[in-house]
């Protein structure tokens, strides 16, 4: 599975949009982009995933560039509870590949009051 | 849906003692994963079960570590004997795998193990 690159840390003001970038320049055509986050003292939590179209759910929006080499996770109105480490992962969406996830160090997002 | 349930939440033990961590996956999920997380190494996959069968245990550090999944609703990770370097947070995760798809991973809240 392709490797991703994320900034080590970011800050965001409460109530503002948090835009978390991820580079995955070696992504292949059958690989999806997945985002998870890990709040302190909890297990990682699935947020959203996408292939090439932009996606939105109740937690966040995912914007994938046309060449699919990068993406941005958007938390539209960040709250203090969104303070967490955010992981961007690419993987093929077929059987057996959850075990091949490369987690990296993620982006530590601090939402400030 | 209660999510993935792990116990105990915290475990403090002395070097040389046996440690058993427990996990109940989400009902209907057929894949189960044990991870270890440390500051230095991040999240590392230890072992992966599919339909209760161990498929990939290449991440298990050494013979002191063993894992079992006697049925679809229960798994254990055992360390015997434990060593201080085993201190970490151990996560269990589950997902559904089949019919050409994988659902996202669902994690428990982990067991924080401290070996003194």
Distance of alpha carbon A57 from alpha carbon A75, whole angstroms: 10
Instruction: Among A4, A38, A43, pick the best mutation site for testing chain B contact (most B Cβ within 10 A).
Output: A43
- The per-residue pLDDT for A95 is 53
A34, A99, A104: residue with CB nearest B33: A99
- The per-residue pLDDT for A97 is 67
Decide if A44 touches B, using CB distance below 8 A.
Answer: yes
**What residues in A contact B56, CB-CB < 8 Å?**
99
How close A32 gets to chain B, by Cα (Å)?
11
- The per-residue pLDDT for B2 is 80
- The per-residue pLDDT for B17 is 97
Distance of alpha carbon B13 from alpha carbon B19, whole angstroms: 8
Distance of alpha carbon B42 from alpha carbon B53, whole angstroms: 26
How close B90 gets to chain A, by Cα (Å)?
9
Note down pLDDT in tens along chain A; length 113 residues.
668 999 999 999 999 999 999 999 999 888 899 999 999 989 999 999 999 989 999 999 999 999 999 999 999 999 999 999 999 998 877 656 677 788 888 999 999 99
For residue range B7-60, list pLDDT tens digits in order. Answer: 999 999 999 999 999 999 999 999 999 999 998 888 999 999 999 999 999 999
Distance of alpha carbon A81 from alpha carbon A39, whole angstroms: 8
**Closest of A104, A113, A26, A75 to residue B41, by C-alpha:** A104
Q: Is A92 in contact with A1 (CB distance < 8 Å)?
A: yes
Q: Exposed, middle or buried: residue A93 (CB in 10 Å: 0-12, 13-18, 19+)?
A: middle
Quote the tokens at residue A78: 């960040």
Long-range contacts of B70-76 (CB under 8 A, 24+ apart): B72/B25, B72/B30, B73/B24, B73/B25, B73/B27, B74/B22, B74/B23, B74/B24, B75/B22, B75/B23, B75/B25, B75/B32, B75/B34, B75/B49, B76/B20, B76/B21, B76/B22, B76/B23
Instruction: Among A4, A33, A98, pick the best mutation site for testing chain B contact (most B Cβ within 10 A).
Output: A98
Residue of B nearest to A49 (CA): B104
Distance of alpha carbon B34 from alpha carbon B66, whole angstroms: 11
Distance of alpha carbon A37 from alpha carbon B60, whole angstroms: 25
Decide if B75 touches A, using CB distance below 8 A.
Answer: no
Q: Which residue has the tokens 């994938």?
A: A64
Quote the tokens at residue B13: 């033990």
Residue of B nearest to A48 (CA): B104
């Amino acid at each position: 599975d392709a490797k991703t690159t994320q900034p080590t840390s970011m800050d965001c003001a409460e109530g503002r949009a948090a835009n978390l970038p991820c580079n995955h320049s070696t992504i292949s055509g059958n690989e999806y982009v997945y985002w998870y986050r890990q709040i302190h003292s909890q297990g990682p939590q699935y947020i959203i995933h996408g292939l090439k179209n932009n996606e939105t759910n109740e937690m966040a929006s995912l914007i994938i560039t046309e060449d699919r080499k990068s993406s941005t996770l958007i938390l539209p109105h960040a709250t203090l509870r969104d303070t967490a480490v955010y992981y961007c992962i690419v993987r093929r969406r077929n059987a057996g590949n959850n075990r091949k996830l490369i987690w990296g160090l993620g982006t530590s997002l601090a939402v400030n009051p | 849906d209660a999510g993935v349930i792990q116990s105990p939440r915290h475990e403090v033990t002395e070097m040389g003692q046996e440690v058993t961590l427990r996990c109940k996956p989400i009902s209907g999920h057929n894949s189960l994963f044990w991870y270890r997380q440390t500051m230095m190494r991040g999240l590392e996959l230890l072992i992966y079960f599919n339909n209760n069968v161990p498929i990939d245990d290449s991440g298990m550090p050494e013979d002191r570590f063993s894992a079992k999944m006697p049925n679809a609703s229960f798994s254990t990770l055992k360390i015997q004997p434990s060593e201080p370097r085993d201190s970490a947070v151990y996560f269990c995760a589950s997902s559904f795998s089949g019919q050409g798809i994988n659902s996202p991973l669902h994690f428990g809240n982990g067991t924080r193990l401290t070996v003194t």
